[in-house]
Amino acid sequence: MLRGIERGSRAGLPPELDDGTWLKRWLEGDVARAIQAGQRYTNDVPFKVAHLPDYSDGVIDPAEVHFRGPLVCWFAPYGGSHLDQFASIIVDNGLGHTIGMSPGGYSNTWEWEETLVFPQSKEPVVEFMWSIGHTIRPNGEILEGNPAQVADYVPVTRDNYLTYYEELLARTFRHLGIR
């Protein structure tokens, strides 16, 4: 069943995280071993902000090189789950100052709607939503519908849409003490 899935990189280039390579390796490696061992559940799928190696114990070790300066992040509600996860890491851990609008609060692992129909008539019986897994924020809360709030709320309005980014930059400079 799993042998037909191709893996590897394109023309010898390293695979990208979002090209499906990580998921294929997870399926062919961790999931296949769990099925062969008769386990009821497999380990978590490699997901979003951090992809841990197969041999990981689930802990992300700190990088050898660390950013040591002040951090200001601009956020908006249009980014999707990667942005929401990054924003919650910054806000919940107090890692930097945030300006703009809160992200959209997206981040169920997989979510889709399905309609069950009668086999003969194809008339709908019931519609429901599958929701497989939640992303947990660093503060322990579910991220879906619960975005990290920015410290300096600046909405886009009809009065500032032409100067919005100038306003964010001015507030960034003020926060950093730059004139």
Q: Are residues 12 and 55 in the same domain?
A: yes
Both 42 and 95 in a single domain? no
Q: Kindly state whether residue 166 falls inside one of the protein's structural domains.
A: yes
Question: Looking at the structure, do residues 104 and 52 belong to the same domain, yes or no?
Answer: no
Q: Which residue has the higher pLDDT, 74 or 179?
A: 74
Query: How far from chain centre, in Å, is Cα 53?
Result: 17
Q: Which domain holds residue 166?
A: 72-108+135-176
Q: Are residues 79 and 40 in the same domain?
A: no
Q: Do the domain assignments include residue 113?
A: no
Give the highest mean pLDDT range of 8-22, 40-54, 70-84. 70-84
pLDDT tens-digit profile of 110-131?
A: 667 889 899 999 999 999 877 6
Higher pLDDT, 56 or 134: 134
Q: What is the mean pLDDT of residues 5-30?
A: 56
Work out how many domains the chain is built from and give that number. Answer: 2
Residues 103 and 27 in one domain: no
Per-residue confidence band for 51, with pLDDT thresholds at 50, 70 and 90: low
- Look at residue 15 and tell me if it is in a domain: yes
Q: Are residues 38 and 96 in the same domain?
A: no
In a shared domain, residues 81 and 48: no
Residue at 5 is within a domain: yes
**Residues 13 and 98 reside in one and the same domain:** no
| Same domain flag for 167 and 98 | yes
Is the model's pLDDT at 140 over the cut of 60?
yes
- Establish if 118 belongs to a structural domain: no
Shared-domain flag, residues 41 and 87:
no
Position with higher pLDDT, 90 vs 59: 90
Range with the poorest average pLDDT among 73-82, 108-117, 120-129, 166-175: 108-117
pLDDT (0 to 100) of residue 91: 95
**Does the residue 156 lie in any domain?**
yes
Q: What is the pLDDT of residue 12?
A: 45
Identify the residue with better confidence: 164 or 142: 164
Answer yes or no: do 170 and 84 share one domain. Answer: yes
Same domain, 98 and 148: yes
